[in-house]
Amino acid sequence: MTPKPRATLLALATLPMTACAETPLPVEHIRLPPCFEIAVFADDLPGARSLSVAGNRVYVGTRGEGRVYALEDTDGDGRAERRNVLARGLDSPNGVAARGDWLYVAEISRILRFPLDPADPLRAAGEPEVLRDDYPAEDHHGWKFIRFGPDGRLFVPIGAPCNVCDEPGHAVITSIAADGSDRRVEARGVRNTVGFDWHPETGVLWFTDNGRDWMGDDRPPDELNRAPGRDMHFGFPHCHGADLPDPEYGEPGVCERYVPPARELGPHVAALSMRFYTGTRFPERYHGRVFIAEHGSWNRSEKIGYRVSLVDVRDGEATDYTPFATGWLEGDHAWGRPVDVAVNDDGSLLVSDDKAGAVYRIRYAP
Average pLDDT, the chain: 94
Question: pLDDT tens across 339-352, in order?
Answer: 999 999 999 999 99
Identity of the residue numbered 75: D
Q: Does the domain formed by 9-20+28-364 have CATH 2.120.10.30?
A: yes
b/e for 96-109, b at 16 or more Cβ within 10 A?
Answer: bbbbeebbbbbbbb
- 143 touches 126 (CB < 8 A): no
Question: pLDDT tens across 219-241, in order?
Answer: 999 999 999 999 999 999 999 99
Q: Percent of the chain at pLDDT above 90?
A: 93
Identity of the residue numbered 170: H
**Residue 1, number of CB atoms within 10 A of its CB:** 11
- Nearest CA among 35, 73, 37 for reference residue 55: 73
Question: pLDDT tens across 94-122, in order?
Answer: 999 999 999 999 999 999 999 999 999 99
pLDDT for residue 332: 92
**Per-domain residue ranges of the chain:** 9-20+28-364
Supply the pTM of this predicted model: 0.93
pLDDT for residue 98: 98
Question: pLDDT tens across 166-199, in order?
Answer: 999 999 999 999 999 999 999 999 999 999 999 9
pLDDT for residue 23: 56
- 154 touches 110 (CB < 8 A): no
pLDDT for residue 24: 87
Question: pLDDT tens across 303-346, in order?
Answer: 999 999 999 999 899 999 999 999 999 999 999 999 999 999 99
The CA distance from 309 to 54, in Å, is 24
Torsion from C-alpha of 170, 171, 176, 182, nearest 10 degrees: -50
Whether residue 88 is predicted with pLDDT greater than 70 in this model: the reply is yes
